[in-house]
Amino acid sequence: MERRPLLAGNWKMHTTIAEAEALARAIAQTAIPADRDVMLAPPFTALAAVGRVLAGSPVLLGAQNVCWEEKGAFTGEISPAMLQDVGCRQVIIGHSERRHIFGETDGMINKRVAGAARFGLVPVLCIGETLEERESGQTFQVLERQLRNGLLDIKLASGKELVVAYEPVWAIGTGKTATVEQAQETHHFVRNLLIDMYEKNIATQMRILYGGSVNPDNVDALMSQDDVDGALVGGAALKADSFCSIINFKKSA
């Protein structure tokens, strides 16, 4: 099944509002091929401003995290309704930095996925192993735990209701990238796991992104793999020229 590629920029804790507006404007004004989707996830403070810049463009607005409740006494959190209010369509959940720096558990991530889905936001669920886990042969075991626990009791009518992002923790911001063979092997494992968890037609519709030092030099080869359906881009998404090069990838022969 042909899946529509998704190129997502995770700006993390970068950009003032003015910087975010300028970056979003430069990306929105580039020529984006009609056969792919682009999403930007600025920090919360810039969501409304970036949403206004992207209005009328094909670029989707996303957020970097979300709470599971619509409102309430949750200091420091942001609700799905608030994200919808500024025009968000997607939300990154379970990024390795949330897991490893801020201690988010599989159970908490599962609640966030459920909250996003309940409000019609598309969760971009991140999974990935550390270098120690890969070197000790635990990659698939770790990914299966994160995926099954993160999607516990999550019902899907369509594969378009969820995006999975595989991000090897050892490749995020390090300049290291999984080989294309490693990426395809892991994405194929994740695809088969999703087939086991959901109906085959749902799992084959679902997009699995690769994240981990994606740049203009390696994106063509990564996107040429059968089960790599896009990229979740960090550092290279903070410069319009590099991210636009990624958006305009061409599959290798």
187 in catalytic set: no
95 in catalytic set: yes
The single residue of 70, 95, 135, 161 carrying the catalytic annotation is 95
Phi, psi (deg, nearest 5) at residue 191: -60, -45
Dihedral in degrees, nearest 10, Cα atoms 244, 113, 207, 161: -110
Q: In this structure, are residues 250 and 240 in contact, taking their beta carbons and an 8 Å threshold?
A: no
The number of angstroms, rounded, from the C-alpha of 210 to the middle of its chain's C-alpha atoms is 8
The single residue of 104, 133, 167, 187 carrying the catalytic annotation is 167
How far lies 98's CA from each of 50, 70, 127, in Å?
A: 23, 21, 11
State the CB neighbour count (10 A cutoff) for residue 82: 19
Rounded to whole angstroms, the Cα distance separating 253 from 244 reads 21
Catalytic residues, by residue number, are: 95, 167
